[in-house]
Amino acid sequence: MKKYISLFVILLFSSAGLYAQSIYDLRNAIDFYEMNKISKGEYRNSISERDIEGSPYLNDEFTPGTIYTYQKIQYNDIPLRYNIFNDEMEFQTPDEQILAIAAPEIVEKAVVGENTFSNIPYELGNKVKRAYFILLFEGKLSLYARPEVIYKKPKEAAAYAEPEPAKFIKRPDIYYLRLNQQTAVRIESKKDLENFFTNHQSQMESFIKKNKIKPSKEDKMIELVEYYNSL
């Protein structure tokens, strides 16, 4: 169980003039904690991590990071970690409480160590949702990685099988392409690539074939995005 808080108060700082700014209003960690003080916590049911093998986190340890909001506020030196399973950015307070940002829609990006997490819209079937993605390459066409962790339920002992504890299992990253400010599109096959590129289609198809681009290979996907942005 984790205590969740809302960052809705930050919205009070937004205004037409603030949105027009090209730079961020710099704030420190103390300001961030003060903005998120609450008198009563909110709780949500979730899977307890106790006695579960593996980890739901990209990195178990908290790393000093920076949060950028769409209201052009920048909070520095926040201990952050990304919970892959819950798709949540967690932070640790000075009194070692572990909290999660409950209004990620106001977060433009979070820089944690060497990773930049962008909170962007993406296609899921016929719906559009938002989630955190790791930015791999930014340009007219951008490339993102979506880490994935699945939860495997525990198994009781059977006649010829030992019991198995519950587990968090890390899956290969899934790659997404985003053209300009449109929704990000999941790319898992060559067919997905062919369907994605409606501009420069013949050039892209030729490049994909010649360079043996595979959607599961990060380095190849970066090559592809760099080429498209050069056209």
Give 186-190 contacts, CB < 8 A, sequence gap 24+: 186/122, 186/123, 186/146, 187/215, 187/221, 188/215, 188/216, 189/215, 190/214, 190/215
pLDDT over 70 at 130, yes or no:
yes
- How many whole angstroms separate alpha carbon 20 and alpha carbon 13? 13
pLDDT over 80 at 8, yes or no:
no
- How many whole angstroms separate alpha carbon 83 and alpha carbon 34? 23
Query: Taking all residues of the chain, what is their mean pLDDT, rounded to a whole number?
Result: 84
What pLDDT was estimated at residue 162? 76
What pLDDT was estimated at residue 37? 58
What proportion of the chain, given as a percentage, has pLDDT over 70?
Answer: 83
**Cβ neighbours of residue 95 closer than 8 Å, sequence gap 6 or more:** none
- Exposure on the CB side of residue 24, measured as CA atoms within 13 A: 16
Please tell me the pTM assigned to this model.
Answer: 0.82
Record the tokens describing residue 75, joined without a space: 């909070």
Mean pLDDT to the nearest integer, 157-167: 79
